[in-house]
Amino acid sequence: MPVVVTASDREPAGRLAAFSSPGYRFYWFALILNGFAVQIQTVAVGWYIYDLTRNPLDLGIVGLSQFMPALLLVLVTGQVADRFSRRSIMGVCIAAEAIVATLLLLAALLGLASPLPIFVIIALFGVARAFYNPARQSIVPNLVPPAHLPNAIAANSTGNQFATICGPVAGGLLYAIGPEYAYGATIGLLIVASALVFIGVPRLNSASGRAPASWQTISAGFRYIWNNKPLLGAISLDLFAVLFGGALALLPVYARDILAVGPEGLGLLRAGPAIGAIAVGIVLMTRPIRNHAGLIMFVSVASFGLATWIFAVSQSLWLSFAMLVLVGGFDMISVNIRSILVQVWTPDAVRGRVNAVNQVFIGASNELGAFRAGVMAVWVGPIAAVALGGAFIVGISAVWALMFPQLRRVQRLGDQPGR
């Protein structure tokens, strides 16, 4: 059985209520440092690859290399998160990410002329993330009382976005000095994050115990999502929306060839969505969504698509930046609603497996979306690739609102499906 939080389930949630749990505080700081490191590495790898080949398709392959492990291992990663210590999985996976960053540092120092070794290294990074994400998502309800869960999820998203603001800017500046500085900073941050997990996050017993694995237990996450139609709608909406977005993957192309703003401008553009997300996240921490949650999510996704379309056709750095801020803000609203629904609607015994499936959807919407954007950029050009994606997002939000009326009618985030 999981460790039971001692605070009362009825305890009112304040603005920073989740931080009253010591284990959550260590978890949160580790989460932020990890996010900061990953963002620095993402900027460095993206610029390195595009500077090496000048082929936007290679940026998509980077995303595909990171996504495929999560897809191929989905039946394993969720089962591991439900059977073993989620805290230990987190700590070990962050340490593995530090090893991957060390390999990238060596590649930069050696001055590799081919992108193939980088793709392989990023695939190893994807393996570590495939195990890390279900564990770190599933552990949050074990660290805070149920009344504090919405506050914790908003704090997680806001903190991650804070890291996403600083990380790309730092990554661009460090890479401008030298790629070894960017990778060195990544390694240091990941080592500290892993230490925080092992030092401060409590070791929690698995909810499902050590029962023998079978197809029924392994596939439980898929079956739970499929049988819960509102949950299926919320997760798949995010998948298809961001799958057709993919603007972030082409930011190196925009920074170099369309807006001509260099690596420093690339850092600014990558920070745009995070600025919008953190501003909205702070609002959600202090004023959580209480009514019309489902309708708000659909409107936010449609607005996300519209802002993506305007960004695609913009020729101005500041208009592009403003649209990316809106992209981040609207995405934060939909992600916050979906994340709370997944945690509230899922029993702890299968939460790891459900989050593993959810992570594949998220990975598909980001890494596979990056691949989609890269391929379309080769076929029709980067501007058309992003603009068509934005238009598709608006259409998808309307179709999903009709297909999943129960999700559209969700009022409070604590409501069970169908209420």
Q: Answer yes or no: is 125 within a domain.
A: yes
- Domain of 248, CATH number, reads 1.20.1250.20
What is the structure's pLDDT at 197?
A: 95
What is the structure's pLDDT at 304?
A: 92
Q: Answer yes or no: is 371 within a domain.
A: yes
Q: Answer yes or no: is 12 within a domain.
A: no
Q: Are 331 and 304 in contact (CB under 8 A)?
A: yes
What is the structure's pLDDT at 206?
A: 56
- Cα–Cα nearest to 21, from 185, 127, 142, 119: 142
- Total domains in the fold of the chain: 1
Q: Answer yes or no: is 79 within a domain.
A: yes
Question: What is the domain extent for residue 251?
Answer: 18-201+214-408
For the chain, list residues with pLDDT below 50.
1-12, 419
Q: Answer yes or no: is 177 within a domain.
A: yes
pTM for the full model? 0.75
Q: Are 40 and 108 in contact (CB under 8 A)?
A: no
Q: Answer yes or no: is 4 within a domain.
A: no
Q: Are 197 and 90 in contact (CB under 8 A)?
A: yes
How many residues in the chain?
Answer: 419
CA angle 245, 250, 253 (to 5 degrees): 150
Q: Are 171 and 41 in contact (CB under 8 A)?
A: yes
pLDDT, tens digit, 9 for 90 and up, residues 193-249: 999 999 999 887 655 555 555 556 667 777 888 888 888 888 888 878 877 876 777
Q: Answer yes or no: is 235 within a domain.
A: yes
- Cα–Cα nearest to 90, from 21, 157, 39, 26: 26
Q: Answer yes or no: is 2 within a domain.
A: no
pLDDT, tens digit, 9 for 90 and up, residues 17-31: 788 888 999 999 999
Structure letter (DSSP) for residue 287:
S
